[in-house]
Amino acid sequence: MKPMQAVRYHAYGDTRRLRLEEIPVPSPGPNEVLIRQEGSSVNPADWKFRAGWFRAWVPLSLPFVPGADIAGTVVDGGTGAAVTPGQAVFGMNPVPRGGAWADYVVAKVDSVAPAPRHMPLHEAAGLPLAGLTARMALFDHGDLRPGQRVLIHAAAGGVGCLAVQLAKRAGAEVIATCSAANRAFVTGLGADHVIDYRTEDFAAQLRDVDLVVDSVGGDVQRQSFAVLRSGGTLVTLDPAPLPADLAAARGIRALTVAVAPNQEGLREIAALVDTGHLRLPVNRVYPLKDAAQAMAHSETGQARGKILIRMRDDPHSGPDHG
């Protein structure tokens, strides 16, 4: 097989480290699948790893191909992998494994699932990491029930825009924070109450919230403890250590999401998309050669919805590919 194009960086640093290079197509190992990529997406973890935030405890093997989110067609499988060549799939690799910003990627066979049928295949790449994170935060960790009140921070972002929809579908009262410019957008996703984080103090307005989903950290996270009822839950995406003393003093469960591939979860997400109960707001789509621009756009923290990377124009990228 001819060499493929991939985006890599050979050292930690800013977006100038990213290079579009030709490298060999990877070979699937036991219980792995080789996928011809149609799309991927940018997640904040991608640029945080590139910048070296986590290298002290999760060092990367350099040079490194970033990208966790996968959407493409099956090419081949390794030993023990029962695969169907040509099948459209989506899924994710753990962020430190990456590999998705390339023409081809290898993943564990149980890290992917059939892609949604009624969504362009390259757009399905925006769902796995963000969707599984939202699902884990709300239900696996947050144990969200109908009628409960949930506060979702950064509700216009990649995880937030999916979490609002999932929480609303679950019968929760959804309170969201975002900028004033995104108020109508977040309301349209299903939020019952929207708070402008720039001009309003959510901690002064809210009490007796059952669950907080925090993707901001820092002062926002600390202030969020005050709005939770005793016995409530705070789930954060921020890997920084949680203030255990504050949680204990208020009788609050505080948990950190460490998202991982989950085939069952992917199947549920695909079903919700295909039945019209979940949609993916797309902020912008970049070609692979402009991956550095896509990453820089993510670093601004101002993107509404998901930033996607598209590998190619292809008939398989259209709707109803399944």
Residue ranges of domains in the chain: 4-127+280-317, 130-256
> DSSP H helical segments within 150-191, as ranges?
158-169, 183-189
Decide: residue 188, CB within 10 A, 0-12 exposed, 13-18 middle, 19+ buried.
exposed
Tell me whether domains 4-127+280-317 and 130-256 share a fold. Answer: no
What pLDDT is stored for residue 313 in this prediction?
61
pLDDT score for 240: 87
Query: Between 60 and 83, whose confidence is greater?
Result: 60
pTM, entire model = 0.94
**Mean per-residue pLDDT, 135-160:** 97
CATH architecture of 130-256: 3-Layer(aba) Sandwich (3.40)
Tens digit of each residue's pLDDT (9 = 90 or more) over 263-282: 999 999 999 999 999 999 99
Which residues have CB under 8 Å from 264's CB, separation 6+?
none
Q: What is the pLDDT of residue 268?
A: 98
In the structure, what pLDDT confidence band is assigned to residue 302 with cuts at 50, 70 and 90? confident
4-127+280-317 has CATH 3.90.180.10 classification? yes
CA 171/CA 187 separation, integer angstroms:
15
Q: Which two tokens stand for residue 92?
A: 């994710």
Q: Percentage of the chain surpassing pLDDT 70?
A: 97
- pLDDT, one tens digit per residue, over 52-62 is 999 998 999 99
Rounded to whole angstroms, how far apart are CA atoms 286 and 15? 15
